Amino acid sequence: MKKVIVTGGAGFIGSHLAEALVIKGYHVVILDNFSTGRMDNIRTFEKSPHIDVEKVDITDFSAVSKVFEDTTFVFHLAALADIVPSIQEPLKYHNANVNGTITVLEAARKAGVKKVIYAASSSCYGIPDNYPTPETAPIRPMYPYALTKYLGEQYVMHWNQTYDLPCISLRLFNVYGPRSRTSGTYGAVFGVFLAQKLAGKPFTVVGDGTQTRDFTYVTDVVDAFITAAESDKRGEMYNVGSGGTYSVNCLVELLGGEVMHIPKRPGEPDCTFADTNKIQRELGWFPKVSFEIGVKQMLNNIDLWRDAPVWDEQTIASATKDWFSYLGRG
């Protein structure tokens, strides 16, 4: 049985990935400091004899390197997310997302890991010139979170080239699904909306809701990670998207409920839409879950959000003010 490591394995995407890897017959070691990851995310499979959970901070090289012996694949998903907190605490984000990534890479290199698969972010494209957006598009990170995730990707590619550590980077587009976060001031729109729906609150729609997003279901993303790991490819970056782009208004219509509009935040793209031709051509991966089916699955699992915190107007106003102030438009 091959041993694999999932950093951030108690988080949203990481927990789904860890579960799928156990089902596929791997022995999975989850590394998580539980700053945002939750034990509840892994309750359904934590008793498996093929799961180990280690409370470890990825910036601690000594602690990380002890776990990496005899590891085949490392899936590096541990990171700090969200835009506004990264604006407020850039050093904290740099430490977690850049220094943490270097720590994981060096531990993997010294342990002779067969391949590292990195969870990159489509936010590196900023506001793209073209849709769908290919991997060759200019890199324009608009805020510290996007920058730190892109810098992490650059280190991944550097370790692949300089130290001959096989690596692949997956640029993820707007991932959603069960266990997605309800907290945060950007990006977790599904979790936020479902918590609001359960609480009988209106959906907080940014701007007029006509902006579109490449909403990608979490099981498709998990499939991309495993496909990349088991392939013979290395030193490559791939977009992972749904093959379409859908408006927030369309999402609200599918969920059903009242709407409260909040100010549009400058610097956010009106559209995200991945060009996935490269990953389909080179890895044979393609998305399988349609937007309508994905939303239905979310509604079927709505009880997961029953006790989730719901944004109040003061929180929304504060986050919006921070965003505008950062851009000098407060």
- Residue 216 class from Cβ within 10 Å (0-12 exposed, 13-18 middle, 19+ buried)? buried
Local confidence band at 55 (pLDDT 50, 70, 90 cut-offs): very high
Whether 175 and 216 have beta carbons less than 8 Å apart is answered as yes
In 3D space, the residue among 68, 134, 117 whose CA is nearest the CA of residue 225 turns out to be 117
pLDDT higher than threshold 50 for residue 187:
no
Say if strands 175-176 and 216-217 run parallel, antiparallel, or are unpaired: parallel
CATH 3.90.25.10 in the chain: give the residue spans.
176-213+243-272+289-326
pTM of the model: 0.93
Answer for the pair 282, 168: CB distance below 8 angstroms, yes or no: no
Q: Active-site positions?
A: 145
Q: What is the location of CATH 3.40.50.720 in the chain?
A: 3-174+217-240
pLDDT of residue 84: 82
d(CA 279, CA 105): 23
Output the pLDDT for position 311. Answer: 56
Integer Cα distance of 321 and 5 in angstroms? 39
Mean pLDDT along residues 198-209: 90
Q: What does the buried/exposed string (b/e) look like for 160-170 if buried means 16 or more CB atoms within 10 Å of the residue's CB? A: beeeebbbbbb
pLDDT of residue 316: 56
Look up the CATH number of domain 176-213+243-272+289-326: 3.90.25.10
For the stretch 220-264, pLDDT in tens is 999 999 999 999 999 999 999 999 999 999 999 999 999 999 887
Q: How confident is the model at residue 310 (pLDDT cuts 50, 70, 90)?
A: confident
pLDDT of residue 59: 98
4: helix, coil or strand? strand
Average pLDDT, the chain: 91
Would you state the pLDDT for residue 318?
Answer: 60
pLDDT score of 216? 97
pLDDT band at 330, cuts 50/70/90? very low
At 206 the pLDDT is 86
The class (CATH top level) of 3-174+217-240 is: alpha beta
Whether the Cβ atoms of residue 31 and residue 7 lie closer than 8 Å to each other? yes
Task: Identify the band that residue 326 occupies on the pLDDT scale cut at 50, 70 and 90.
Answer: low
